Every structure is written in structure tokens, then in C-alpha cells.
Amino acid sequence: MSVNMSSNNKGAGVMSQNQHAAAMETIRLTKTYADQQALDGVSMRLEANRIHGLLGRNGAGKTTLMSIATAQLFATSGEVRIFGQNPYENREALSRICFIKESQRYPEVFNVNDMLAVASTLYPNWDAAFADRLVEEFRLPRRKKIKGFSRGMLSSVGIIIGLASRAELTLFDEPYLGLDAVARGLFYDRLIEDYAEHPRTIVLSTHLIDEVSRLLEEIHLIDGGRLLLHEDTDSLRQRAYTVTGPTAKVNAFIASRRSLKCEALGGSAQAALLASSPTEQAEAKAAGLDTAPLPLQQLIVYLTGQKESDREGLA
């Protein structure tokens, strides 16, 4: 939980002034540690009132980026803007953010009721009734101390705070650790239902891409501290596909196209591609090849497994 104390007056004048600003924007954002470059000149723009997927392998720089954007880390260089404002030492900007981290810690002597009471003072749009409903649905004990909670119960606390905060910019960093499939499904269902009624900007950083793909409206893929790809999810789905057929035909087709992976299957072959034109799949069928959609998670696996020299033109 991003613990940013502020008044409940969000500043109508500032909000009006920045109503066309991106919810979050980074400009050549770089973070360097002694022996590692966690972020390398990342420039990205997250439009307001969309559900964004911040995707990438462990260690790609996703958590670092979100921590800098929420003023919990300092950048080595570059800029970050939240609704057009610098978030550092900016109570108005920070009051519009809720950041639920994977390693979120809570006071061990607190219970769920204590946490909800604190959260109600932090987030101007807090919905207490919604929070109470979520506590019941996730079956959390209200008076048990946090120190006795399992990993999944702690994740549920974060999810409840993130959803009930109704913060204009809500960031979830791997929010489901320890949750079973039923609880994860409950999170996804409540997120999309509440988002439909109360639009805001939501960022999901996750590796369970297939599970959340139905929620995501935009994809931001980070690898090795760099922005590898940013695209509307529906557009990306339409471009990602496989071709299957005789090996010679598949090899001839992919020779001049962006092939992500090609595997031999006896006398046949299957290749995964990212189309560069809207007619590419029709051309594959005309060449006597079978086509099929490539699942989003498999696409991300292939892209992040490529050599850097094969990634030109993706972002």
C-alpha cells in the first residue's frame, strides 16, 4: 500500500488542468545500481481510464519502474509524471495513487479492521462498504493479527485495499501470490466489475498473462530494463499468429517476415509470427499454410527469449 498522507481535497483546479494528461508517463527513465542497470531509458505513456498490463520476466524492471513512479525510489536520470505532475514531495499527486506491492508489509500487530481504518484515511475515494464486502468474499478473519496471516491472506488484504481505494491510478504488482485459482478468479471478476462502474487507471504487473489477458486493454512489455513493446491488446492479438505446413513452405513464408520461433514437426514445421501487415495471415493461407492465433502468454515468452538484435522495431 502506498502510504501517502494527504487531505481529502483532491484539488479540482489541478485535476481540471491535467484532465488530458496521461495517468502516468516516463521520459528516458533510468535507474542504475552499483552493479546493475535496472531501467535503461524507458519512455512510456499510460493513458487514463484504461487497464494496462505491465509485463516482463522477473528482474525486468517492472517493480523498479512502479516504485519510482510512486516516489518510493529515486531515478538515476529521466522524468516521471503522474497526471502531468512530478510525484516527488507532491501530496496532491500521491493522493491519487495506490500501489500494492508484491512484498507489501503491514504492521504485525494490526488486524484487518485496523488496516481498513488506516486505508480509509489515505485514499480520498475509499469505499468502506465495498471493502467490507470484499473482506467477506475473500473470507478474511477481521480480528486476527496480521502476523498470523498466510501469504494468500496477505495478498487478499492488498487486493481489498487496492480495489476499495478507487484511486485514480492503482498499481498491482503480482497481487495474487499464495491465492488459489478461486480467489484469483474472484479478484479478476471484482476488478473488472468495479472498473466498469468506476473507471480509473489500473496497472497489473503479472506473469500469469493468460489469466489476466481478458482484462488488459494495453500491453507494455519490459525486458532487461528496456521497453520492448507497447500496443493495444486487441491489435496485438490480431498480429500474433502461427503458421503450420510443409517445412519448405513454412521456411519460404517466414524468410522475409518477423518469425519469433520455428519448430520442425517431422516433415512439417510450425512458426510463430508477429504480423507487420494486416494481409499477412491471408498471404499465409494463400501459400497453403494453416494459421491459428498465438496465445498472448506464448507471444510474451517468445519475445523476451529473443536476442536483442532481433527486437528492432518492436517498441
pTM of structure: 0.88
CATH architecture of the region 12-224? 3-Layer(aba) Sandwich (3.40)
**Are residues 223 and 306 in contact, defined by beta-carbon separation less than 8 angstroms?**
no
d(CA 46, CA 170): 12
In the chain, CATH 3.30.70 sits at 238-310
pLDDT tens, residue by residue, 33-63 = 988 899 999 999 999 999 999 999 888 999 9
pLDDT tens, residue by residue, 152-163 = 999 999 999 999
Average pLDDT over every residue of 72-78: 95
In the chain, CATH 3.40.50.300 sits at 12-224
> Considering the chain, what is the average pLDDT of its residues?
89
Reading the block at residue 178, the C-alpha cell is 499464495
User: Looking at residue 119, what DSSP letter applies?
Assistant: H
Antiparallel, parallel or unpaired: β 97-100 and 169-173: parallel
310 vs 60: which has the higher pLDDT? 60
Q: Reply yes or no on whether the pLDDT at 5 is more than 60.
A: no
Q: Reply yes or no on whether the pLDDT at 14 is more than 50.
A: no
d(CA 177, CA 45): 27
Q: Reply yes or no on whether the pLDDT at 313 is more than 80.
A: no
pLDDT tens, residue by residue, 158-201 = 999 999 999 999 999 998 889 999 999 999 999 999 999 999 99
Q: Reply yes or no on whether the pLDDT at 204 is more than 60.
A: yes
Average pLDDT over every residue of 139-146: 95
pLDDT tens, residue by residue, 92-130 = 999 999 999 987 888 989 999 999 999 999 999 999 999
Q: Reply yes or no on whether the pLDDT at 266 is more than 90.
A: no
d(CA 147, CA 108): 4
* Radius of gyration (C-alpha) of the chain in whole angstroms: 22
Average pLDDT over every residue of 202-207: 92
Cα–Cα separations (whole angstroms), residue 25 to 37, 42, 81: 20, 10, 5
Determine how many CB atoms are found less than 10 A away from the CB of residue 311.
Answer: 17
Please count the CA atoms within 13 angstroms of the CA of 100 that sit on its side-chain side.
28
Per-residue pLDDT band at 210 (split at 50, 70, 90):
confident
pLDDT at 7: 33
Question: Which range among 122-131, 205-214, 294-303 shows the weakest confidence by mean pLDDT?
Answer: 205-214
CATH architecture of the region 238-310? 2-Layer Sandwich (3.30)
* Coil vs helix vs strand at 178: coil
pLDDT at 12: 36
Cα–Cα separations (whole angstroms), residue 18 to 7, 165, 204, 258: 19, 21, 23, 39
pLDDT at 34: 85
Q: Reply yes or no on whether the pLDDT at 271 is more than 90.
A: yes
Average pLDDT over every residue of 221-244: 95
